[in-house]
Each structure stands twice: as structure tokens, then as C-alpha cells.
Structure 1
């Protein structure tokens, strides 16, 4: 979960217009309007919303750029639009904007679900400017408090557990913290102390004598890890490729000095392989490579989450005995997307590989860059995939349309698969949509013919019924009454009895 506060903007509140365009295009949805008067609601125009925000802001002429605009994003579909809206509402409370008029708009035009929030920086009640000192850092803290309040996430407890790991050097501590979303840097006021930060917010300050090094070895566990490495390098790809993250720091946080005096503002590089992922998922062993600039790694560290111990790689097996390094590379965003696909077999891996070769040839994705992932999509995501694929095959058979999130691809054996690029899903079409819809997709002409036959048969039945009714009507007319002749005969018999 990340938050980004945009730079302040002028009195025309361009954020309202931006979000309104998303809504008009169908890629945005207004989720919440809070603290507006009753005559300004979901049915109001963007001009009415902007005029109201402007009316509040104009009372303070010293605030030249009154727009407050923030974005909160989750990883892929990690949180629903309703959950993100609740997070946004609580976030605004923490930012002291809880009583301000603001809108929350959900966007679904990227891989990550996210919401935009727009308000005014001029206090509705006092007319004063809401304090924006260290605003970006405040936003990180506000989001952290919100996540703890709503989901029980407690960074301080997580950090305390990490600080109890057995380490033999300061660099091992830095590696451990980095892998879990923290940074450690020198305290500018005390050279013997270190600040531990998360999203730019200081979580804890450690003095040098608080860090305890432990050089003891668990020989039994070392043997186990060696055996695991030797076995699994034969079962899963050990080909290592470079992952480059050249995305801008979305939170625009201050640059922090690392332990060695540098800073981490430049492009981040990691080295990844399927073997690493499998070791972490199955055994809780995280293999982290060390390198200089963009050169190949010179060593590795193993973090054992099972026994809370950090190992120097050379104490286990030599790096080149376990891994094979390639010259291939991927950008971080593409890598994260590929990892999220539900690749449950070699067949689905082949389908995806061919799909990306055809649709994204410039990325040059190789077989070993697609990792086995047997985790199932959550039920809500699966139902949405199911609904959208059914809708796609009913209404649009042009599977080559590049603008679509959905593609129907055939395997070598002719079996059809659906690939959904927004939800990172690949699966057999027949299982996904059911036999009836599948047959309609395979033979739409046959379905049309059957419908035509049914209509013809129904028409014939209708004409027959009409003819019978006309014959009965003529028969009743000939008897001089519209009543049934048998009914008249029955009445005559009753009269004779009297």
C-alpha cells in the first residue's frame, strides 16, 4: 500500500476535472462525496463541485494553490474499491482533513487498484490554511496509522521481531531490513546511532551498542539448507536475470544515507530466479544477491525465516554451484506482473510465453522468467474474470483487439485458454465459462441455426393452434350460439326432467 501527495494546484481544482474525465471514460467511479452541502451530491456537475471548493478557498487570498490531491494505491487487486474508499476516509481524518469537503474516486485503468482524493487546503470552518509542513512524511505516517487501525498492521511489532534475528555483521542487518521494507541509515546527530525508517518515517533509533552480533552456527540447519539447495536447483530454474527498477520514488521522500554513506535514490537493481522464489515460498529461505552497480553478483546472503537466522552464502554453498547467471533483464513492473500470474503447469507457462511474444515482443520474456505459481486467485477476482470473459465472448469475438484485457489463445493440442491481463489470470476457457457457453463460442452458427429451428417450430405450433381455434369458432357459430353445443344439449335434458 502506498500513498502519494501531489503538488498543490491552483484555484480551478484540476484534480476534479481529471477524475471527472476518468468517470466519463468508464475507468473511474465516484465512491464518496463527504462534507458537501445536500444540494451538491453525486448528481452534481464537476463545475458545481469545483465552484464549492473554490468558494471555500477564495476566502484566504494568501493560499494561491489551494488544491489538496492524494492517491492511495494497493498492489494489483489487493484491496477492493470499497476497502480503498474506507482507507481514504480514515487517511483524511489522520491528515486533519476529516471535516473538509472531499471526493474519493476509484480508478481501474492500471494494474493496481487505486483511489484519488481531492479537497481544499483552506479550512472550511476557520478559513485558515491547513498545516502542510512535512506533508509527504505526514501522509506516510497517516497511512501507517490507518492500516494499523483497520487491519491491525503494526510495523513496530514486525520491526522488533526482525531486530531479534541472529546476525553476524551490520551489513546482514541492513540486508534483512531492506528485504522487509525498512531502511537503516546513520543518525546525522549521532555518528554512533542508526535510524530505522519505513516509507521515510523513523520507526526506531538504535545506538551502536544495542546491536548484538552472533557468530554461532546451527550445523544441523546448515546441512538441511545445503541439502535443500542441492535438490531444488535440479527441480526449478536456477537461471538468474537482472530486474531493474527505474521508477521514480512515488512518495517523493527525502533521500536517506545508507550505512556505507551512499544513498538509494538511483536505479535499484535486483537479481531473481524461480529457484529463489520457490525456496522462500516453501522453506522460508530468502536468497539475496550482492553486487556493485549493474555488475553481476559477487556473493549472496541467506535469510532463514524459519530459525530467525541470517547466513553468509559462502557458509552454505558456493554461489556458482547453485545459480547460473544470464545477461537477460526485465523492468521491475513487468517482473511483478509476471509473478502474479497463476502459472500452475508447464502448459499454462507455454500459453503465457506465446502470448507475450506475440503481444509484447519488445520485452523479450524468456521461459525461465515465468515462475510456477500454484496460488489460486481469490473468489471475488475469479468471479470478475469469469464474468468479463463471458461478456467478451458473447459480445466481441475479435480476440486480436489490442485494447482488450482479454485474449483467447489456443495451445498446441487445440485446447483454448483465456488470458486476462488486468487480473493476471490464465486458465482453460471451458472450465472458466462452462460447457454451454463454451459450445456457443465454438459453434455460434450452430446455435443460431438451433434458435432459427426453434422459432420455426414455435411459429408452426402457433399457426396450428390458430387453425383449430378458428374451426371450433365456426362450429359454435353454426349452432347459433357461441356456447359449446354439448352444453346446450345438457340444458335440454334438464328441462325434460322437470
Structure 2
């Protein structure tokens, strides 16, 4: 279980956040500790007034709101009564067991989790200190709850990710909660794949019947750098109502993705030769497009052809599901672009072009491609700790940014040496 603590000055803001989710059907108030009514009978005023009655007894303390989230492993589908007990035990260990608090069960993300809202002002007006609350009391309470209810430990969640995560399936419109399904796929793909553009991102997302959409170039959404996610049918047609990127857990907005583009451009560079080598091996002799796809699929690479209505090939994308790198053909080199390969593929079993790929390659041991992203090691090796997993990507990014800055300094010094 992972516990996250936020403190603030607005109890009404914290309650409003959760109540909005309730109205949308994505959350439920499952407990109201220290209230005189059952949760189902409480009005918004009842919920807020019980807490503000306490804050009014100490007007000197401005930071008086506590908003906690308790996050469980994907495999832990806990019943409501167990979640209520977990919340009570955690709040007792935190030192807030005698305070009134509201417990909301959320269903709007890829993992089960609770939100708890309370205040640190006691009935006598004294203040419960927030100092080191997250580092000491919360850690102790979390570990005790994990032991009592046999939960997946925070330190082990990363190591067990491949085991406990349900495989990502194609989103089936009408058979699952759309926002949650989109959240599951988008967050996993954005976290693990190295793409440098929206089309490259969509090359992966489309395999799960999802697409990221900026709108037409003349639309207001495009001008405002907006982004939405759609569910697709089997033919690639958009279904239902789009989901705003800003409303998805993790907020995979265009601005956030553009930061990923720049980082991924650097992170995927060392992987280019590996992909080129596998493509070269598949092109040692003339081959049909279908056989080309099959050969590379067996080598861990998915090939996406982009064709117009007349069937003419105008683009090609390679997705290496082993290294999680996505490349357009032209990114690998001119000879890998759609324009170059279109004359290499056999038509009706006949190709009169001479081979252009001569180099000999030995068999590789690339992992066999599976359609489920979580079937590969997306979060790290089995020996990784949670902190390593959380910070590995950031460390890679900082190292990559450092190299870019170093190159810039070298160029600058070179320019001043004249």
C-alpha cells in the first residue's frame, strides 16, 4: 500500500474534489467517522460543517486540512468493509483516530484507492502537528496496515508489477468503464514506451483501440494545445465521447507529452542500431509486406504500415516491444523509409529489384512480441525497489538532459575560441 499525504488551507476544496467524483459516479463515500449520520444521509453542508466547526476553534492555524490517499496494488480488489477497517486503522496509527473524517472509495484510476479528508484541529482547539507526519507516523501506520491485512507492500509493488498487473486488453466500447480503461492503457504506454510524437504514441495506443487526438488544425482545441483520448472500433472509427487529457489520472496532456518527446528523443538513440539490425536481417531477400511483418514480430518488433485509401504505402512505424522504442522508418535512415521500402516488397511473389541489404546477421534473442504490454518487463527488473522504479526514469532523464547541456557548452566554448 502506498500512502500519500497532502496538507492545505481548504477543507471545502478537498471535499469538493471528492464530491465531484461522486456525482460523476467515479467515487463513493463509504465511511464518515465521527459524524452523527450515516454516510448516505449526509449533505454537503453536513460534511463540511462538522470539520469547520473544529477549525473555527483555532483561527490562528491556517493550514488545517489533511487529504490522504491510500493506494493499493491492482490485484487487491478489497471489499468495502475491509477498506473501512483499513482506513480506520491507518488513521489511528497516524494519530487522527479521534478526529472526524470522511473516507471515499475512488474508481477512476488503474488501481483501487481511497481518499480521506479531515482536519488537524482538535475539539479543545489544539493543533495536531503536520511536521514529519508523512515520514514518521504515516510510514509506521502504513507498514502495520500492510501486515494486518496482508497487503502488497509499497516496497514490493514495483518488483511484483509484472505478476500482479492484469494484462492490458483492447478497450471494448460498452463493456467496460471507458475512462478507467483509457487511463490504464495510456498511463502504461506513456510510462514505458519511448515515442517522440503524437503519431508514434498512437502507433502503440491504436493496438488497444485508443487514439490521442488534437482535433483539426483549424479547431479551437488545436489552437489551445488541447488533447483528448478516444475509443476506437475495430475499423479505427471514433466511438462515444472523448475524454480530456487533463481529466485523466496522471494528466497526459500535450504539454506533458511534449516534455516526454524531448526526453525520449535522447533515451531511444542507443536503441536505434538494435532495431536497424533486426530490420536489415528481415530484408536480406525480397519479401512481401505480410511476411516482413511476421518476421519482425517473431523478433519482438511490430511493424505498422500507413496506407491511403488506394492502398498506397506512405508511412511505416517500427515498435520494438522489447526495448519499448518507437521509430518511424525515416528516423532509422533513408533506406528504411516507406518511399525506399515500397519498391523492395514483393508484389504477387515477383520483385525485380536487386537486394540492397547485404550484411549478414546472426540470430538474435529478442523477446517474442506479445500484444499485452504488461507481458514484458515494463517497470524494471525483479530486484528493483519501489524507489528505484520511481526514480530510475527521472535519473535517466537527468543524465540525458546533462548530456544535452554539456554538448551545448562545448559548442559555446568552441564559438568563443576564435
TM-score of the aligned structures, taking structure 2 as reference length: 0.39
* Greater C-alpha Rg: 1
TM-score of the aligned structures, taking structure 1 as reference length: 0.33
